[in-house]
Chains A and B, each alone.
Chain A
Amino acid sequence: MTTDKKPAVPGNRVVNKRKLEERRRFLRSIILGAAVLGISTLGYIPVASAWRVRMRPPGALEESDFLSSCIKCGQCVQVCPVQAIKLDDIDHGFGVGLPYIDSRSQACDFSCDAVQCILACPTGSLVYKKPVFMPTRNGMRVANPPILLAKEKDPEPTLNIRERTGLARLARPDACLAVQGKGFKGQARGADFKGRMRFIEVDRWKPIPLRDHPFDLQLCDLCVRTCPIKGAISLQPVVDKDGNTRMTPTVHEPCLGCGVCEMICPVESAAIVVDARKGWGA
């Protein structure tokens, strides 16, 4: 086109060819820019629509702060003695590489006492105590310092952490063995389950595979007896509509949402679950 318009200038063809290529390159560059920007903002979709509400490791900042501050290094993953922490994939958009805990497959049972993941974090995405200007939603802070049963006899029995990662809830009371008045015998999650936990009566420090620690219970109270936090859950009698008294697991305010109850619950799928990022009374 341009060559048609200015046919008179001699030697113009070469210049035009170069100009043309330059123009093409410029256009290509703009397309490249738009494409990369478009692809990188795709990360919004999973975040904005909160596809899956992930449970973050203990001490995590509120979700939006967590998303912006975590450098995605996985140092928290590396120090966890039970390897409860995993990193998210690209289907989580901006959350790719962010640590989360899937309690059902491996809960944080505070095997490390000092909450190692918080110590390992280089960016302050996981903290014992949030800076004052960072908001905490109502119900996330626990009323009293949580007492870790594993170190109840230590001079300093409490945990350094004061905020919950979520809250346990009896999601399917009908499926709960305790509610049904049933006992439990055997390996809590079967012989193939890979999850680990520490049991104070076995070893104060070393987590062992759940399957190596079978139970024999008259009335199932696995969630209550394995909960690492004092006073977080108990079996309470309730009278049902037929006038029978039944025992039912009841979650109390000190629950940190660690997820041990969800991991150990022998019914499939778990009768008790932890709602990630949920506060008390919410």
Chain B
Amino acid sequence: MANKYWESVRVMLGGAPRKSQPGEYTEEAKTIHFYKKSEKLDFDALRIEAHEHQKKGVWLRRRWITLLVINLLFTVSFWLDIQILEGALTASRFLGFHLIDLNSALQVMLAHKHIIVNLFIGTGTVFVLWLLVGGRTFCSWACPYHFLAENAERLHVYLVQKKKISDHTFHRGVRTVFWVLFALMAIITGYTVFETISPVGILSRALIYGPGLALGWVVLLLLFEVFYSRRAWCRYVCPIGLTYGMVGVFSPLHVTYKLANCHHEGECKKVCEVPHVLDCVIKGRAPTAQLDIGADCTRCGMCIDVCPSGALTFEIKGLRRIM
């Protein structure tokens, strides 16, 4: 069990997904793999049949609505002075409860080297909240930059398909390096260096307090992602995602993969922001009949939306047994 968590952390930090060793396959998984090998699947027929059951874009819709509501709630709370959600994404008060973004809080603590009670309470609230819903849920369900980057990503993928541009990848490990560097810079310089370039903070403030020059930086980032490297900021730089990812390692909410349902078409990997977590869907890879997708998953549900055979679903641990 501990092994599984360690593996998902290792992959999140930048390690390449490991192929399962022959001894690691359960009997059940072996049987399924065996039948899949011998079976000749009529993919087209399966696809047509499965697509009929598929509810298109359900999670996408739910997620975008949530994301927009959260971010606009900040804006209207201020503009209409209704005081539901005051502040910005870095730190806020929801109906009086302190909420503080974990990564911003960390940067401030490291830079300032002094922690007051409110900061501590707010961090605790958010920690518990995101521990429950799953670490990188923040990314796809609340982060305003995600919303823009996701659409920039679509454009990028389209341009690559049209062969107008080519995609350039980086080593995923740089995100971990950045995390450490930003932490070190905060400690050494005494400034929250990361916050200066964080498009998340910049966008959140722009939405609430009005646009400024800082949006230029966000535009540059998006252009870089559209024309040079797919989803570069989130994949290779953003320490916020990693901070939340670490919190979410043990969270009970997961995307779960069911080997038996899978037709290995790989649709899910095409839409996923973090396709390395979906390596188990490659034919013959999954060591167990059912497994949880790793900690780097943002719980966006995009793979669930596109999977024509229902092999991927949201699951809450423990609840399965209760129900």
Q: Are both chains from one complex?
A: yes
A75 to B91, CA, bound (A): 8
Chain B residues near A131 (CB, 8 Å)? 114
A33 to B177, CA, bound (A): 8
A43 to B100, CA, bound (A): 24
A72 x B201 contact (CB < 8 A): yes
Q: Kindly specify which of B20-28, B116-124, B299-307 makes contact with the partner chain.
A: B116-124
Chain A residues near B314 (CB, 8 Å)? none
Chain A residues packing against B (C-beta within 8 Å): 25-26, 28-29, 32-33, 36-37, 39-41, 43-44, 47, 64-65, 67-75, 77-79, 86-87, 89-91, 93-94, 96-97, 120, 122-124, 131
Query: Which single member of B87, B93, B191 contacts A94 (CB below 8 Å)?
Result: B191
**Given contacts A25-B170, A32-B174, A68 and B108 within 8 Å (CB-CB):** yes
Chain A residue with Cβ nearest B89: A73
Query: Which single member of B77, B91, B177, B190 contacts A71 (CB below 8 Å)?
Result: B91
Chain B residues near A44 (CB, 8 Å)? 189
B196 x A96 contact (CB < 8 A): yes
Query: Which single member of A33, A91, A94, A97 contacts B201 (CB below 8 Å)?
Result: A97
Chain A residues near B87 (CB, 8 Å)? 73-75, 78, 122
Chain A residues near B91 (CB, 8 Å)? 71, 73, 75, 122-123
B201 x A40 contact (CB < 8 A): no
A78 to B209, CA, bound (A): 9
Chain A residue with Cβ nearest B111: A68
B192 x A68 contact (CB < 8 A): yes
Query: Which single member of B92, B118, B181 contacts A124 (CB below 8 Å)?
Result: B118
In whole Å, how far is B70's beta carbon from the nearest beta carbon of chain A?
A: 15
A171 to B150, CA, bound (A): 53
Q: List 24 A-B contacts (CB under 8 A).
A: A25-B169, A28-B168, A28-B170, A29-B173, A32-B237, A40-B197, A67-B192, A68-B190, A69-B111, A71-B100, A71-B195, A73-B88, A73-B92, A75-B86, A75-B87, A75-B91, A77-B209, A78-B77, A78-B86, A94-B196, A96-B196, A97-B201, A97-B202, A122-B98
List the 9 shortest-distance A-B pairs measured between CB atoms, nearest first.
Answer: A73-B91, A90-B214, A124-B116, A68-B111, A69-B112, A89-B212, A43-B196, A73-B87, A29-B171
Chain A residues near B236 (CB, 8 Å)? 29, 32
Interface size class of B (residues with CB under 8 A): 35 or more
Query: Which single member of B78, B170, B202 contacts A29 (CB below 8 Å)?
Result: B170
A94 x B192 contact (CB < 8 A): yes
Query: Which single member of B98, B174, B197 contacts A33 (CB below 8 Å)?
Result: B174
A37 to B101, CA, bound (A): 22
Quick check: is B242 within 8 A (CB to CB) of the other chain? no
Chain B residues near A29 (CB, 8 Å)? 170-171, 173-174, 236
Quick check: is B43 within 8 A (CB to CB) of the other chain? no
In whole Å, how far is A119's beta carbon from the nearest beta carbon of chain B?
A: 10
B196 x A74 contact (CB < 8 A): no
A72 x B88 contact (CB < 8 A): yes
A44 to B92, CA, bound (A): 27
A67 to B86, CA, bound (A): 21
Chain A residues near B196 (CB, 8 Å)? 40, 43, 90, 93-94, 96
B119 x A97 contact (CB < 8 A): no
B201 x A68 contact (CB < 8 A): no
Chain A residues near B214 (CB, 8 Å)? 89-90, 96
